[in-house]
Amino acid sequence: MTNLLHPHRLGELTLPNRVVLAPMTRARAAAGGLATPSMATYYAQRATAGLIVTEGVQPSLLGQSSPGTPGLHTAEQTDSWRQVTAAVHANGGRIFAQLMHSGRVSHQDTTGLQPVAPSAVPASEVFTPSGPRPAPVPRALDTAEVPGQARSFAEAARRAVEAGFDGVELHGANGYLISQFLSSNANLRTDGYGGSVANRIRFAVEATAATVEAVGKDRTGIRLSPGGTFWGVEERDVPELYAALLTELARLEVAYVHLEATSEEAVLTGLRRAWPGTLIMNPTLPMGPKQTGRAEADHWLGLGADLISFGRAFVANPDLVERLRQGLPIAPYDEATLYQGGDAGYLTYSAYQHTD
């Protein structure tokens, strides 16, 4: 069986192990969506991961979901990320930026703009500067506008590479814009982007193709949550929908597909068989009752995954790779400090302390 601590070739990169830092919102960006010195320290502390995938980064102001999240759509934002990529590389790491367009999972109080979506169907509750609020009804994108939203991922990808990132991951999961187009209840369109499976995957394929054209296939990955119900999305025909999408992604030869455990294992293993390239598996439901540990990682490596992403376990354990290597205890994280801002619960977790 594949060993979690063995190397893996990913495009032009050689990963020293198969441990991936999963993208996790931490809401620590400065005003204007700027990356900060604390963010540079946070990611550099975790540079022993085979691959780091950052928190979701908005490719446009319109694509911002929550307050405190970073962007990659201005020159100032691009420059601010250089300290992060430089710190990770100085510590021997590799880092991809996750590009996340929120679509309907946003609010005017956060961006000053009415959210857009495939259809005028609101999400449930969203985060705003004054706390959780009911989601507004989004404006349905005109057909002529949709390709521009797809290209926003490519434009942000160019900025990411300019800022020193090794690549990008398109966030096609968890109820955000790409996921909304895949959905059967958030996407009620009757044009070429809605209805049939071929139409519902079109936006994801166009966004990915534009990104591949912009920065190259080896620098492009995508995260998906087959059957997930985040932010109120639902999906019909999950095996057919994702098999069709993976077929198109295989034609584009992207660096990897990153799956979340949001469907039954039989569905996910079927998708593993359908995908010929590198598969990153997130073995436990994001923010579900169980964290990913060594047992879950080994289980999915045995089922054919190439890399395993760890979320909450990496929050409180910047030395997670070494803890997994030595079989050391995994420290618990403090849920109250996940999104509160500041360095507490962000930079205050330490490596394992050995005692005599």
Average pLDDT over residues 127-134: 94
Query: 3-state DSSP call for residue 64?
Result: coil
pLDDT tens by residue, 285-328:
776 667 788 899 999 999 999 999 999 999 999 999 999 999 99
| pLDDT at res. 335 | 87
pLDDT greater than 90 at residue 354:
no
pLDDT tens by residue, 183-192:
999 999 999 9
CATH code: domain of residue 268: 3.20.20.70
pLDDT greater than 70 at residue 216:
yes
Residue 355 falls inside a structural domain: no
Residue 168 falls inside a structural domain: yes
Predicted structure pTM score? 0.96
Residue 93 falls inside a structural domain: yes
Residue 303 falls inside a structural domain: yes
Q: How many CB atoms lie within 10 A of CB 328?
A: 15
pLDDT tens by residue, 102-112:
999 999 999 99
- Two tokens at 16? 């020293």
Domain count, the chain: 1
C-alpha 162/C-alpha 273 separation (Å) is 35
Cβ neighbors of 295 (< 8 A, separation 6 or more) are none
| pLDDT at res. 93 | 98
Active site residue 346: no
C-alpha 306/C-alpha 281 separation (Å) is 8
Domain that holds residue 46: 8-337
Do β-strands 95-99 and 139-140 pair in parallel, antiparallel, or remain unpaired? unpaired
Residue 319 falls inside a structural domain: yes
**Catalytic residue, candidates 42, 43, 176, 333:** 176
pLDDT greater than 80 at residue 154:
yes
Residue 41 falls inside a structural domain: yes
pLDDT tens by residue, 48-78:
999 999 999 999 999 999 999 999 999 999 9
Residue 347 falls inside a structural domain: no
Which one has a higher pLDDT value, 331 or 289?
331
Residue 29 falls inside a structural domain: yes
